[in-house]
Amino acid sequence: MAKKKSFVKKSERKISKALSKSVAKKEKEGPKEIAARIKEVARGIVKDIESGRNPRFKTKQRGRGNVLFDEKLGIIKLGDKDTTRTFLNIAHARKFLQTMLVMSKTYEYLTNNKTASIREVYYELKHTIGNTKENTFEDQRESDACIVDLEHSIDTIREKLNVHANPKGTLYGDITLVDRQHHNDTFNCLKLGRGGWSIMSRIEPHEIEIKKVNAKYVLVIETSAMYERLVEEDFARKNKAILVGTGGQAARGTRRLIHRLHFEHKLPVYVFTDGDPYGWYIYSVIKQGSMALAAHSRLLACPEAKYIGMTLEDVEDYGLQNVTEKMKPGDIKRAKELLAYEWFKNKPWQKELKKALQLKIRIEQQALANKSLEFVAKEYLPKKIKNREFLP
């Protein structure tokens, strides 16, 4: 089998200095800094009231109209369009009140070293306003939206507000962590059994310290079955790799951990997904960020991440024609969407996506078991990494 050309350009091997500086600055922000920013917003609102002005709260506009792709930094970003909410506008009053409640509660969490799930925030703040039949919140979506508005208003992520969602993701490999929030517990993820460590939703440096990493790279794996296969084959130990299982689309905490491993410990990030438009999009979210969280790409994205497979070329190279699946209408629709995204408009990805639309097939990670159970760990991944057979 001929050695393939690597699509990794020299320019892609060096992350932008501007992004690195921005990341370093944001990483250092702890509860005190975030609480101070909330207090500053509150002071501005109090000043409006004392001056007889209509109290106002400013945040960023969300939606695709304010999302852009920064080619220099290699990330999806939120634009500069703002939106202002005022208390004396009948259309804004309810949302304004809800936002103030969320601000007050998150400030309380930060100053008292408490954390809460987004579900807990909703229930803590839900009540009927005195002498009325009006509830502060009718649905968790309302409180969730206020948390997002606050994130954008003070330029942070909800995890730094001491707020989190349900965790998802698993870590395995020779990496030592210190849980600063739980008696400074110190543990090595290679010694926690085959299950590894369940990645927390909140993975900030002041909470989880990455004390030591003995690895050459991070391998991000889409499916739980493939993650378990690689653990069973002792891939992490034999190849000095850190394995991160996402179980589908990577959760925020998992993306944050991958980001920290890359920036703090200079580890290359390789992403291994199913060979289909949904797997490829999972890769792009880890690499460039997502439109939904465009404001937070600096703390979540890894612009230098590389895609290691599966690809449609693998189908031919490894004789997997008999174990492919037909693309469904949703796959076809997704592939056409990816073709139009700026971050997929490079020659290798355009070729891959057009080939998928032409052949209308997809290939799962587990299809490599058609060769043998050990094939993915002994041949497929080591060969691709050694020869740098990546998509950018």
Domain 166-387, CATH among 1.50.10.10, 3.40.1360.10, 3.40.50.10860, 3.50.50.60: 3.40.1360.10
CA distance 3 to 381: 14
Would you say 360 and 326 are in contact if contact means Cβ atoms under 8 Å apart? Answer: yes
Higher model confidence: residue 19 or residue 149? Answer: 149
| Catalytic positions, written as ranges | 123
Which of 217, 221, 392 shows the shortest CA–CA distance to 306? Answer: 392
Per-residue pLDDT, averaged over 227-234, amounts to 96
Distances (CA, A) of 121 to 73, 162, 201: 34, 11, 15
For residue 29, the model assigns a pLDDT of: 81
Radius of gyration of the chain measured on its C-alpha atoms: 23
Task: State what percent of residues in the chain have pLDDT above 70.
Answer: 93
Residue range 317-364, pLDDT digits in tens: 999 999 999 999 999 999 999 999 999 999 999 999 999 999 999 999
Q: Tell me the DSSP string of 341-382.
A: SGGG-SHHHHHHHHHHHHH-EEB-GGGGGGT-TTHIIIIIHH
Q: Do 26-164 and 166-387 show the same overall fold?
A: no
User: Is residue 10 very low, low, confident or very high in pLDDT (cuts 50, 70, 90)?
Assistant: very low
Question: Span 26-164: which CATH code?
Answer: 1.10.10.10
Residue range 126-143, pLDDT digits in tens: 999 888 888 999 999 999
Query: Is residue 15 predicted with pLDDT exceeding 90?
Result: no
Domain ranges of the chain: 26-164, 166-387
User: Is residue 28 very low, low, confident or very high in pLDDT (cuts 50, 70, 90)?
Assistant: confident
Residue range 184-216, pLDDT digits in tens: 899 999 999 888 999 998 898 889 999 999 999
For residue 2, the model assigns a pLDDT of: 41
User: Is residue 183 very low, low, confident or very high in pLDDT (cuts 50, 70, 90)?
Assistant: confident
| DSSP state at residue 161 | G
